[in-house]
Amino acid sequence: MSPLTKVQVLCVILECVSKYDANERDEIRRAYINLGPYQPKLDEYKKTKFGRNSRKFKHSWFAIKEFSPWLEYSPSKDVAFCLPCFLFDKPTRNFGSHVFTKDGFRNWKKVNDGNNFSFLNHMGKQPNSFHRASEKAMTDLMNQSQHIQKASIDVVKVLAFQGLAFRGRDESSDSINHGNFLEILDLVVSYNEYVAEVIEKAPKNASYKSPKIQKEILHVFSNKVKKAIREEIGDAKFCLIVDEARDESMKEQMAIVIRFIDKDGFVRERFFGVVHVLDTTTLTLKDEIYSILSHHSLDIQDIRGQGYDGASNMRGEWNGLKALVSNDCPYAYFIHCFAHRLQLALVAASKEVILVQSFFNRLSSIVNVVCASRKRTEQLKKAYADQIAYFVEIGELETERGLNQISTLQRAGDTRWGSHLRSISSLVNIFSPICEILLKRSSRKEILLPNEKQHTHVIML
């Protein structure tokens, strides 16, 4: 950092106060503190005449314990500055001198002048001297910023682990909900009064909470995870499993999973990341995959298998990709993704079996009736809660945190076979409450007793 820019920054801090708000000034200060005091080692420091003798700045002064944390030297102006005083000086200050802040100190003769030791004088003997106060302000600012940074990192970690969205729909200052990241960050820092006060005053777009910093922190996490996976792969051969999807903003994405055998002989499948692709042409997909592999020093020649969704509307592209990869590595055998094939087979087969087909048709009608309105969903939840309470009372259900959560009936979809299992499981779980709703619906007034409920349950199963 050249001393000239330092002087410019001083202007920013001292004179352009009206132009920059407190938060921006702190950002500039933090950047300077992180760089540390400017202590250049020159072959020759400039000489200044003092009477018959000439004196100059001595590099050895930087090494003195008391001065090394703050002493700075500007080669272009041949003066010394004090970093903390320089950063925390106020234009309105009318006590003490500005010699180590604005003007710069050059009276080298007085540095080693017995009682009149200028550097010690600058520091002051009293704990409330301007220099000591500036040093404290500097330490506080850095502690505060470390606390905020740690809080930001912790919040990103929690949100990423829980798979929650970071951003809010409206993050403006008058919004009542600024989204998960900002709201949780505010909560976390509110436990530290000193930092909370700063955060309170800071604009919502302050850099330590900006979307950019959120992404950067996430990026660091993602790299750490990938690095761990890379280490796990070692020099093993591996298979690629790739699928495409579109995100909410309709951007094309490609998800990459790497399958390999780890050093203990276990088959591992690791999700290696989602990449945005500009288009879904064969060449783009290949280039992206190759660039990710080479970025993590995974050799194309070590690919032993490739699996894509051969039935998708991108069939042509995947076939092309298969051919390109096989050209580069003849051992990269193609396997039409088993999960996708199983899905296709199950959907087709189940349509041919009348019993199965009519079962799922009926299930879908039940979902339609039971989940038709908000009111009915609420009724279902209430009936389910009553059932859980009853079973817990008679000792048929374990109570444990996270168990027995109130859920609703799930709809099955043809594109995800697993959804059929979820749908049937939810039907089994809340069978009696569903019967209750259906009975009410068919305007039959009789109320089932709990043991009768159980009875119906058993018959159906």
Residues that bind Zn ion (CB under 5 A): 82, 85, 131
Residues 6+ apart with CB under 8 A from 185: 151, 152, 155, 199, 209
CB of 88 to Zn ion, least distance (A): 9
CB of 32 to Zn ion, least distance (A): 14
Q: Name the β-bridge partners of 273.
A: 256
Question: 318-326: long-range contacts (C-beta < 8 A, 24 or more apart)?
Answer: 320/282, 321/242, 321/282, 321/285, 321/286, 321/289, 324/282, 324/283, 324/286, 325/240, 325/286, 325/289, 325/300
CB of 139 to Zn ion, least distance (A): 13
CB of 17 to Zn ion, least distance (A): 20
62 or 333: CB nearest Zn ion: 62
CB of 26 to Zn ion, least distance (A): 18
13 or 82: CB nearest Zn ion: 82
Q: Name the β-bridge partners of 81.
A: 72
CB of 122 to Zn ion, least distance (A): 5
CB of 44 to Zn ion, least distance (A): 26
Backbone angles phi, psi at 381, to 5 degrees: -60, -40
The Cα 291–Cα 299 span in angstroms is 11
137 or 255: CB nearest Zn ion: 137
Beta strands per DSSP E along 178-328: 238-246, 252-261, 267-276, 303-307
135 or 244: CB nearest Zn ion: 135
131 or 209: CB nearest Zn ion: 131
85 or 199: CB nearest Zn ion: 85
10 or 185: CB nearest Zn ion: 10
The Cα 168–Cα 204 span in angstroms is 12
Closest CA to 321 of 417, 226, 244: 244
CB of 138 to Zn ion, least distance (A): 10
101 or 454: CB nearest Zn ion: 101
Q: Is the CB of residue 73 less than 8 Å from the CB of residue 119?
A: no
The Cα 295–Cα 289 span in angstroms is 10
CB of 60 to Zn ion, least distance (A): 20
99 or 188: CB nearest Zn ion: 99
Radius of gyration of the chain (CA): 34
First to last CA, the chain: 76
Output the DSSP codes for 309-343. Answer: -TTSTTHHHHHHHHHHHHHH-TT-EE---HHHHHH
The Cα 74–Cα 6 span in angstroms is 9
